Amino acid sequence: MPTKMPSSFCFVLLICSGLLLTSLHAQALNKYKKVLIVTSSVTLLAAIGIGAKILVDRKRNKSKGIEGEFSGEMVPKRVILIGDSTLDNAFWNDVEKDTTGEVLKKLLAEQGIIVDDRSAEEASTETVYQAIKNNERVIIDSRYAEKRDTLGIPYDSDGAGSSRFKKYHHRQADGQVQVDVTSDIKGSIVFISLGGNDVGLIHNLNPYRICNNLAKLAKFYKEQGAVGVYYIYPYSPTMRMARGSKLAYRGLTFLHKYMNPALEKTVKHSAFDGFIDLSDFADEHRGGPGIPEPTKLGAKIIAERIAQRVISSTNK
């Protein structure tokens, strides 16, 4: 494939050509003056036109393609996390304060990008889709809220030093927390991690229903003004877990045979801009007797992969 010359390089080249022709004009014989003047003028006008086009292109800032690049020099100021315990992982495997959201907040602080964590324990594609469809909120059980309270990273934080914001979290009288997954999406990059609980908790073994929900979620967030929407593929149980649990074995078989191919097709042919792959996760990255949850190392690596995608996308 031939290499495409950048517009900015062409712009500089045309400017230099114009200046050179102008210089030659001053030294040329009288009979060539008229030709040189016309050539110089046309060249400079073309350069001005290309320069104007570059500025217009930068202002458009449209997202593009599976690689998740963003045209121009726009840097989104907010990353929103929508998902399940793959992201909201304080409760499991001694992750505690070092959740994916909290680690990600530190990784993106130098870029001035806000991390807005709205992930919710036990969330599924069904619960999040119903929330956006009916303008409702996703509910988090009180036991998860109590755990975060003891850690000093409550769901309904004031946002100071936390990846959680009170504006999007409402504490009920019974201790449950309602999470707003629909507001203030414009200009953000959204990462979605859902699907595992559809299988593990709801026992929905229909991959097309799960994928249809995901496609609708990606479309919704794009329509709300997200500049990028990415899917985080669910990791599977290890064979060691599968041998000790019928549920884990069923989940492993279902993911490999049906779910993963359907998810790949959904990401490719829907409003998703790309994905983050966790298929290399092993026992050190996630564990548990049934549905596997991230370890502290796993939560950190998920945050690093999200940060890498955000930074690489916005710096191109």
> pLDDT tens digit string along 189-247?
999 999 989 988 888 888 999 999 999 999 999 999 999 999 999 887 666 666 666 66
Task: Tell me the C-alpha to C-alpha distance, in Å, between residue 307 and each of 63, 223, 302, 316.
Answer: 17, 24, 9, 14
Pairing of strands 114-117, 78-83: parallel
Three-class DSSP labels, 173-204: CCCCEEECCCCCCCCCEEEEECCHHHHHCCCC
Rounded CA-CA distance 313/311 in Å is 5
Cβ neighbours for 115, distance < 8 A, ≥ 6 positions apart: 78, 79, 81, 101, 104, 105, 108, 163
| pLDDT recorded at residue 199 | 83
Beta bridge partners, 287, equal 293
| pLDDT recorded at residue 137 | 98
Domain boundaries defined on the chain: 7-60, 69-314
| pLDDT recorded at residue 279 | 87
**Residue holding tokens 């290499």?**
3
pLDDT single digits (tens) 126-135? 999 999 999 9
Rounded CA-CA distance 213/262 in Å is 12
Looking at domain 69-314, which of 3.40.190.10, 3.40.50.1110, 1.10.150.20, 3.50.50.60 is its CATH number? 3.40.50.1110
| pLDDT recorded at residue 71 | 35
| pLDDT recorded at residue 313 | 76
CA torsion 81-82-86-91 (nearest 10°) is 90
| pLDDT recorded at residue 161 | 72
Rounded CA-CA distance 190/212 in Å is 18
**Residue holding tokens 């036109």?**
49
Residues of the chain with pLDDT below 50 are 1-26, 28-29, 31, 35-40, 42-43, 47, 50-73
